Chain A
Amino acid sequence: MSEIILEARDLAKDYWMGPSRLRVLQGVSLSVPRSEFLCILGPSGSGKSTLLHLLGLLDRPSVGRVIFEGEDAFAQPKRWRDRLRNQAIGFVFQFYYLMPDLTVLENTLLPAMIRTPLIRWPLARRAHRQRAVQVLEDLGMGHRLQHLPRELSGGERQRVAMARALVHEPRVLFADEPTGNLDSVTGGEIMRVLQGLNRKQGLTVVMVTHDERVAAQAHRVLHLADGRLLHDA
């Protein structure tokens, strides 16, 4: 049996709408073995993104625990979770979320720039840049290094977002509807990249989507409805 890299135990998440409580996730438990391509499928409003944010340590659950590589993430200090997001986790979002003022190369270098102090940058820059250029070239973006995000197409932006998520060689990649904002051809290309990374490099991928055709390409699919997991497909 493969090692469990990520585990959720009885997760719940509440939002407060004035005086009334809205429970968007309830009793969600799951385990993700290393190198698995897991897809969480559900209709809009089912709590997929909320679950992904909790698993990716972007948000704190109201109830339950997230175990990352055997450590209870929310029992650790916030600094520990920040470092984990910077060094062990990659995110790809539906709307790319690239920094509009930075070039393609700078966007890709962002995780390295977050963890490197200015005094070390002159020595570290060359290695980081080489790695970023390599990843961008692998994703077919080597010719757009100095471009701003607004000068790119949707598919190109998503490739840059993927480069940024992969540049620091994360152990888990979280993808929130990565093809949701793309046409079918470009979406297919993005999925092929994700599958390739999972197969060739053994990257653990956790993806949420509402598209069953996209979900079909994963190793395992979990259905989420009204904040509860239904069953494994």
Chain B
Amino acid sequence: MTYELLATPWGILAVGVAGLLALGFGALILWTSVYKHVICWRYLFGGWKAVVPLISALPAALGVFLLILVFAIMDGFAHETREMTRGTLADVIVDSHMEGLPYYDDFIRQVERIKGVETATPIIQTYAVARVKPHREMYPGVGLMVKPIVRPCQIIGIRAAEKVEMGRFKDYLLRQHSDRYPTDRLLDLPPEFRKTDPPHATCIAGIGLIGIPRAEEVFKPVKQGAGMQVLAFTVAGICLIALLFIWRVARRRLEGRSLSLGRGIVWGLTLWLVLLAAGAAADLLLTRFAAGGWGRTLVTYVFIAPAALAAIVALACTLAGPVYGIARWGTLKQKERPGWLVATAAGGLVVLVLGGAGMFWPVAEVEVQSKDVVDFPLLDYGDDLVVSTIPVTPKGAFETEIGGVPKVSSRALALVDTFKSKFWEADSTQVYVDFKVAQQMAGMEAQPATDDRPAVPARCSQVQIKIADPTQGRLIRDRIREAWRTFASEHRDIGILNLAFNTWEDQQKMILTVVEVEKNITALMLGLMFLGFGVLTALISYVMAYIKSRDVGILKALGARDAGVGSLFLGYGFIIGLIGTAIGLVAALLMLHYLDAIEIWVNQTLHIDVFPREMYYFESIPQHLSPLWCVCVCLGVLALSTLASTAGGLLAALKQPVETLRYE
């Protein structure tokens, strides 16, 4: 979708404008005075004051993180839903509902001549009731008490070879999805499944229709070691931040007063050992507690105990003491500080080792036993599924027996395959049968003329059409509509038919709209969070400009321009936004990358089922990351933080230097 958008003229124009803006912004940065960069940097990262912008960047980070993460997951749901619904349909559908479309083969030939249409097929679709008599042997633990299950369903009559061309129908078949099964024989019953002679007509039924969901222990492939990767990256990040602080403080205080080399090392190591011991003990207790007892075997494939994490974080943080101590080692003159170099190298090494561990930690696919919801089929292949429907006459009335009783058309259909698209609506209702069988059941077959009525041509419910370029669906749909008008004018006996010409998206509008609306509401609600961040940034910027008003006076006395000093505070807000955006973006991308591993970890460690399979019917949490959305969110936060900091910028720009320099 993103790439399609980028390929349009507007997309190219937008990318061009964005590129020019980026170049302009880069040029602006390069042509601004050096003092703004230096002072802004010092305000942000001067010693422990860096805590202030980091804290104020957290709401932005949280907002970016949530917006990208939640949107990617919701977009994943929407994307999966679209794919599932699309896979069961075709690109364009001409629907005549239950009245029936006559002369469909002629119409299809006409449609196939339209530019952009690849192929088309007729479909019969009618409502019915399915009766499933479960195999006693196949339903362990229930025995003789099993009663037949009766469910509403949809009979869909297809020409198998043509239907396969339409969407992803064959991919959804549980038995015949591979290429070794010829597409024109999907509804043929293999001899090994034959239970009656002659064999019954056949069907392919949705797994949800002939099965029941059951929670079972299943073997699932998981990535062993993914949790350790997450841990290593996390700790490397924490170490990096901790070491940057220490590096800074040690540099500032090379000639300082308080901590000596020996005391720094002793204090740091002692604190580290105490925290590590406490963390290890807590780890042991918590792990056992989480496992449910002392004798239980622990599941360790992605298990990261919270206490272990805390202990390693403590290690990262308490590196401060030794590194600080080492940094002070050596002569204290400006250009001679070997300890300083050693500390920097040691700190860098720790980060590199942990980062390397994260990158190269072996990740292997292993199978683990896990609880999952599976559809347990109540019929075996070759078993009968009894489907009953009431045929509808060409005039739209139910066919009746003598005495006005509705005529029920009932067929026992041998099951040749099961169907699972993951689209519950389809999987729990649809029964695919041969086109002619369905046509007979629905009363849509050709009827010869009798004394009291003329001959009736055979009819179908739908014509499904595959087109060459799926993005041109609406254009082709309109061409097909025009073709129908011409066709109907040539066949006067058709009369006026209430046909619906839809693309697959129009056809599934309700469900797709619901998902889209949910996605947009969530994005809007999370977006409101940014208002809080904007207010916070504005306040921090204003307070900063107020506190630093003497600096403002000094800069102006030395010739800095009003706008220049004001823009210093804009840059301050921009960098806060940039920090927040970077943290949020990296965290969201990492979270998305390790989503399944984290979900399993949360499930195993905290016993919280964040993604119940029986509710969502997906094997894993769906995700679809849009680069365009990421860019929009990041640019939005940067723009907001810069805009919000105009509060401080204006205060600084309007401040008269003598106001601040006159009084001390």
Contact = CB atoms under 8 A, between A and B. Distances in A.
B333 to A, nearest CB: 9
A102 B557 contact: no
Given A99-B39, A99-B551, A102-B39, A118 B34 contact: yes
B664 A102 contact: no
A118 B662 contact: no
Contact of A119 (B31, B334, B554, B662): B31
A113 B658 contact: no
Given A99-B554, A102-B39, A114-B558, A58 B661 contact: yes
B109 interface: no
A85 B661 contact: no
B23 to A, nearest CB: 14
A86 B31 contact: no
Interface in B514-551: 550-551
A83 B34 contact: no
B34 A85 contact: no
Contacts of B32: 117-118
A83 B564 CA distance: 13
Contact of B664 (A79, A95, A116): A95
Given A101-B39, A106-B38, A114 B555 contact: yes
| Majority SS at the chain B contact face | helix
Contacts of B558: 85-86, 91, 110-111, 114, 164
Nearest to B27: A119
A113 B252 contact: no
B33 A116 contact: yes
Nearest to B37: A118
A191 interface: no
Contact of A97 (B553, B559, B658): B553
A58 B34 contact: no
B440 interface: no
Contacts of A118: 29-34, 37
A84 B33 CA distance: 16
A46 to B, nearest CB: 14
Interface in B320-341: 334
A95 B663 CA distance: 10
Contacts of B406: none
Contacts of B561: 78-79, 82
A59 interface: yes
Contacts of A116: 33-34
Contacts of B29: 118
Which of B32, B554, B555 has the most chain A CB atoms inside 10 A of its CB?
B554
Interface in B13-44: 29-35, 37-39, 42-43
Interface string B43-61: 1001000000000000000
Contacts of B334: 145-146
Interface string B235-264: 000000000000000001001000000000
Which of A85, A86, A110 has the most chain B CB atoms inside 10 A of its CB?
A110
A87 B559 CA distance: 8
B31 A93 contact: no
Nearest to A112: B34
Contacts of B46: 101
Contacts of A95: 664
Given A49-B662, A59-B658, A113 B38 contact: yes
Contacts of B252: 148
Which of B33, B556, B657 has the most chain A CB atoms inside 10 A of its CB?
B33
Interface string A94-137: 11011111100010001111111111010000000000000000
A68 to B, nearest CB: 14
B650 to A, nearest CB: 17
B444 to A, nearest CB: 77
A113 B661 contact: no
Contacts of B34: 112-114, 116-118, 121
Given A111-B558, A119-B30, A97 B35 contact: no
A85 B557 contact: yes
A58 B657 contact: yes
A100 B252 CA distance: 13
A82 B560 contact: yes
Nearest to B562: A78
A102 B555 CA distance: 12
Interface in A53-103: 53, 56, 58-59, 78-79, 82-87, 91, 93-95, 97-102
A85 B658 CA distance: 14
Contacts of B255: 147, 151
B31 A114 contact: no
Contacts of A91: 557-558
A52 to B, nearest CB: 10
A1 to B, nearest CB: 31
B503 to A, nearest CB: 53
A85 B42 CA distance: 24
B43 A53 contact: no
B409 interface: no
Given A101-B42, A101-B43, A113-B38, A82 B559 contact: yes
A112 B551 CA distance: 16
B656 interface: yes
B164 to A, nearest CB: 63
Nearest to A53: B658
A172 to B, nearest CB: 14
Contacts of B39: 99, 101-102
Contacts of A164: 558
A208 to B, nearest CB: 13
Contacts of B554: 97-99
A113 B556 CA distance: 13
Contacts of A78: 561-562
Nearest to A128: B34
Contacts of A146: 334
A110 B557 contact: no
Interface in B544-589: 550-551, 553-562, 564
B69 to A, nearest CB: 35
Contacts of A110: 35, 555, 558
B57 to A, nearest CB: 19
Interface of A: 49, 53, 56, 58-59, 78-79, 82-87, 91, 93-95, 97-102, 106, 110-119, 121, 145-148, 151, 164
11 contacts: A58-B661, A82-B560, A85-B558, A94-B664, A100-B551, A101-B551, A111-B559, A113-B33, A114-B34, A118-B31, A147-B255
Given A114-B560, A117-B34, 4 more contacts: A85-B558, A100-B551, A118-B29, A147-B255
Nearest first, the 5 closest Cβ-Cβ pairs linking A and B are A86-B559, A113-B35, A101-B42, A119-B30, A113-B34
